[in-house]
Structure 1
């Protein structure tokens, strides 16, 4: 039995675009200035001046979180509009001179530019980060072990970055591929304990691969600032209802994992190279293709893997009370497709990336 519903909080990143040229533009400061009177500290800068980030306050109620997210999207879109700009929920900029991107002002950002160098050339990436309360960092590490097999499926369900800087990448989520080149990114290793995790992070700090614990960019990690496990595997979804579905599935995975940990189960030790291959396949083919089931080693339709994930978390969702909402959200997502599906459909009408950006603006605002 769940004693109390774990609190949820999220961060979503958006790109600032000029609605006339459809290019991503380095005017995040203008949007932030316009949005801060309404959103206060819930809107902030990101690594580049092409991006803004919104955050939600912690809540246990998924429906409440969905409402806050819709309101935050609307408010930041209105702030951008007041500056003659727009924001789009896309994993990468579709158009614009964005390689290398303009790095935001700040000592930390400048230091990161010195450390990571050309890795920053494609850092204008936008993701959905989900924070779920856990009892302590030990639980966070063991929960990550249980989540590792499901991370490729979350990639397929959130894929929303097929186009980048004026070209079709051929991938459903090029953001995942860009991010995977960083020294501490992608699926986390399997850890036997939090002590094991700390020892590895200490060695990575010594190597210079990390500036500090905040640059542990694994897709599941103990938050360095909050009493949560942070899941950061997903592209920012185009539709806010899809964000809600992903967030609810993530909490279902965490609750399911906590139940297993309480039974003494440390999670399945899936080989890192197998996960790497599954990431690549998920990022390339998305929901419409096949993915690698890392538990069996069998190539399987991605929609089937998505249904298996849902079946895995169904008991937790029923106990939490989220099952009706997420059953509807999952069915809608599987029938309609992801943000990548919509981006490609917009492009197919006239083979125009400008049309893609126009549709992104419309979808993000609505």
Structure 2
């Protein structure tokens, strides 16, 4: 049976005249009365859209496009716009204004200046799994592929007025948190639970929702949540990544059913692969964590596709995902498009203008 998929996409609220992010998410949410599930995020710069779970990638695409257009229309009614970018291009965002929620205020006390740059937007993908234990072992199997997903999704090269030199500055900024980035390898579910107890005692965790690893058992749903990707600029890129992620999870579940809980690739090697993928995206070389060798990012993307091919074929998603991967490798991720928009005029305002248009294209 093909597992259900649920998705969450986060967007930034911007002033279309100044092109700066603005803390007016509450106004957009109040106007978005026709959107089935859109909610606030940790900062007042952001809104989050959620999908109804579906096993059909095409159906998810229809819903996601409609949701983006409806949220954008709500923003326009307030004299605002929304953009799908992993991090703010322009604006005064440090420290970030938090949404009204006692939990966020508690986090400010616990995490302090880490919250200053938390105005980041990601794509979160939930895939049905039997239970938390399976979710942990699926995470083991996904670890070596997470850097490639980062490269494919990279969409945050500019941060508040400057080119960071990275394709995904969101990944670098987010990686400073105590429980973030690639999950550790866990040989047993008991090891996972023991690690969470120790992290809680250390103060690094406020509650189960602050387990911010890029794969994790959802704290509220019977799913594995994969949260490694910048929010893509293009809906088709989002769907390509969603299809790939489900196929990786299905492939991992089959391996787990055979007693394979994944390989313990060293965390320090995976961290280096993350850095390389976040810096270069699809334009440079990638570190193949399994072999410890540098290969062109396009080759690594091909290896990921080959690894997930059978699951993609079984779900009927293979032609769509192959086409999407080919498109990404030919024209690049959102980071490439952002830099191209900047190169045309030399002004970051042009980048924001392009983001506004492309988010709902």
Common topology (TM > 0.5): yes
* Whole-angstrom CA distance in 1 between matches of 2:220 and 2:252: 22
Q: Which residue of 1 aligns with 2:289?
A: 294
Within-5 A mapping of 1:55-74: 55-74=50-69
User: What are the Cα deviations for residues 183-241 of structure 1, in whole angstroms up to 9, with x where unaligned?
Assistant: 00000000012221111001101110000010000000000000000000000000000
Query: 1:282 pairs with 274, 277, 283, which one?
Result: 277
Query: In 1, are the aligned partners of 2:90 and 2:161 still within 8 Å (CA)?
Result: yes
Query: 2:26 maps to what in 1?
Result: 29
| Aligned counterpart for 1:312 among listed residues 307, 311, 323 | 307
Query: Where does residue 342 of structure 2 map in the other structure?
Result: 347
**Cα distance in 2, alignment partners of residues 293 and 238 from structure 1:** 26
Residues 97-116 of structure 1 mapped to structure 2, 5 A cutoff: 97-116=92-111
User: Which one of 203, 219, 222 corresponds to residue 224 of structure 1?
Assistant: 219
TM-score by length of 2: 0.99
Residues 49-82 of structure 1: per-residue CA shift (max 9 Å, x gap): 0000000011111111111111110110010011
Q: Which residue of 2 aligns with 1:39?
A: 35
5+ unaligned residues in a row in structure 1: which ranges?
A: none
Alignment of 1:7-156 (within 5 A): 7-35=4-32, 37-40=33-36, 42-156=37-151
Distance 1:229 1:11 in 2: 13
State the 1:365 CA deviation.
Answer: 2.1
Secondary structure of the structure 2 residue equivalent to 1:38: coil
Question: Could you say what secondary structure the match of 1:59 adopts?
Answer: coil
* Alpha-carbon offset, residue 99 of structure 1: 1.0
C-alpha distance in 1, partners of 2:293/2:189? 31
How far does residue 331 in structure 1 lie from its aligned partner after superposition? 1.1
RMSD of Structure 2 on Structure 1 (CA): 0.6
Tell me how far 1:315 sits from its aligned partner.
0.7
The number of residue pairs the alignment matches comes to 361
Answer yes or no: is 1:206 the counterpart of 2:201: yes
After the TM superposition, which of the residue ranges 118-127 and 323-332 deviates more from structure 2? 323-332
Runs of 4+ in 1 over 2 A off after TM superposition: none
Q: Distance in 2 between matches of 1:365 and 1:71?
A: 9
**1:327 paired residue among 314, 322, 325:** 322
Question: 2:230 matched to 1:238?
Answer: no
- 1:258 matched to which residue of 2? 253
Q: Residue 53 of structure 1 aligns to a residue in which SS?
A: strand
Conserved 8 A contact 2:54-2:60: yes
Provide the C-alpha distance between the structure 1 equivalents of 2:65 and 2:223, rounded to a whole number of angstroms: 23
Find the partner of 2:181 among 180, 186, 190. 186
Cα distance between partner residues in 2 of 1:208 and 1:153: 31
SS at structure 2 position matched to 1:150: helix
